[in-house]
Amino acid sequence: MSESRLVIPVGEHDHSEGAANAPLTLVEYGDYECPYCGRAYPIVKRLQKEFGSTLRFVFRNFPLSQIHEHARAAAQAAEAAAQQGRFWEMHDLLFENQQNLGNGDLLAYAKSLHLDSARFEKDFSDPAVVKHIRDDFRNGVRSGVNGTPSFYVNNVKYDESWEFESFKEWLLSSVAA
């Protein structure tokens, strides 16, 4: 059985937390409105805490807009916040408030992060922001993403349980490999 691999390696275009030279890189293709991504969010946070400097976490947009009406707008909000250096703060707010992703909510989150509101609204619709999300999505499809969340550990798709203990064991075996 062939394994799916990341087609586009992690690079400067990605949003990442952790050292670029960490022995483990965990990439998530996610959708801010997806309930499964919402369940995975605290697990990933816990893994980041547990693995510390040995783990680099990367998030790529994969909004499933045909089934999640606010997914694309939420991704645009995260990317617009990134233009002001606040991607991770917005990322966390979106996952922590998945039931409230309307346009008014997104603007309120931007204000709570003390973002420049006029710039946020401009960046929200910026063709470069929209292209970044579309590129993430297309690259995910090319890498074998067929749902969210989809995870890759050191460029190899992780198709096992993403419950904490199972995921932790896989990461530990990936470090040892």
- Which H or E run contains 134? helix 127-142
Average pLDDT over all residues of the chain: 95
> What is the arithmetic mean of pLDDT over 20-29?
96
Residue 113 identity (one-letter amino acid): L
Q: How confident is the model at residue 176 (pLDDT cuts 50, 70, 90)?
A: confident
In CATH, the number for domain 24-176 is 3.40.30.10
Q: What digits encode the pLDDT tens for the residues 33-87?
A: 999 999 999 999 999 999 999 999 999 999 999 999 999 999 999 999 999 999 9
Token pair belonging to 35: 């309930």
> What is the arithmetic mean of pLDDT over 17-36?
97
Token pair belonging to 15: 């949003």
Does the pLDDT at position 132 exceed 60?
yes
> What is the arithmetic mean of pLDDT over 133-158?
96
Task: State residue 142's pLDDT score.
Answer: 96
Q: Is the dihedral of CA 92, 96, 99, 103 positive or negative?
A: negative
pTM of the predicted model as reported, rounded to 2 decimal places: 0.95
Largest distance between two CA atoms of the chain: 51
- Which H or E run contains 17? strand 15-17
Does the pLDDT at position 134 exceed 70?
yes
Q: How confident is the model at residue 129 (pLDDT cuts 50, 70, 90)?
A: very high
